[in-house]
Amino acid sequence: MHLGLIGYGNIGRALLGVLVAEGCAPERVTLLVRPGTRGDLPGDVVTDSEALVAARPDLIVECAGHSAVAGAVVPALRAGIECVVVSIGALADAALHDAVRAAARAGGTRVVLPAGAIGGVDLLASLKPAGIASVVYTSRKPPLAWKGTPAEALLDLSALTGPATFFTGNAREAALAYPKNANVAATLALAGLGFEETRVEMVADPTVTQNIHEYRVRSGAADYAMRIEGKPSPDNPKTSLATVYSAAREVMNRLAEVAI
Which residues carry out catalysis? Answer: 213
> Of 64, 236, 66, 218, nearest to 141 (Cα)?
236
Could you give phi then psi for residue 255, rounded to 5 degrees?
-105, -10
Which residues, 6 or more positions from 225, have their beta carbon under 8 angstroms from its beta carbon?
214, 215, 216, 217
**Residue 223: other Cβ atoms inside 10 A:** 12
Q: For 155-159, which contacts have Cβ atoms below 8 Å and span 24 or more sequence positions?
A: 155/204, 157/204
Q: Where are the alpha helices (DSSP H) in the chain?
A: 10-21, 49-55, 66-68, 74-78, 94-107, 121-126, 151-154, 171-177, 183-191, 241-255
Which residues, 6 or more positions from 40, have their beta carbon under 8 angstroms from its beta carbon?
none
Cross-strand bridge partners of residue 132: 219
**Residue 77: other Cβ atoms inside 10 A:** 28
State how far the Cα of 118 lies from the Cα of 130, in Å rounded to an integer: 22
In angstroms, what CA-CA distances link 206 with 97, 146, 178?
A: 35, 11, 19
State how far the Cα of 210 lies from the Cα of 102, in Å rounded to an integer: 38
> Of 169, 159, 115, nearest to 138 (Cα)?
169
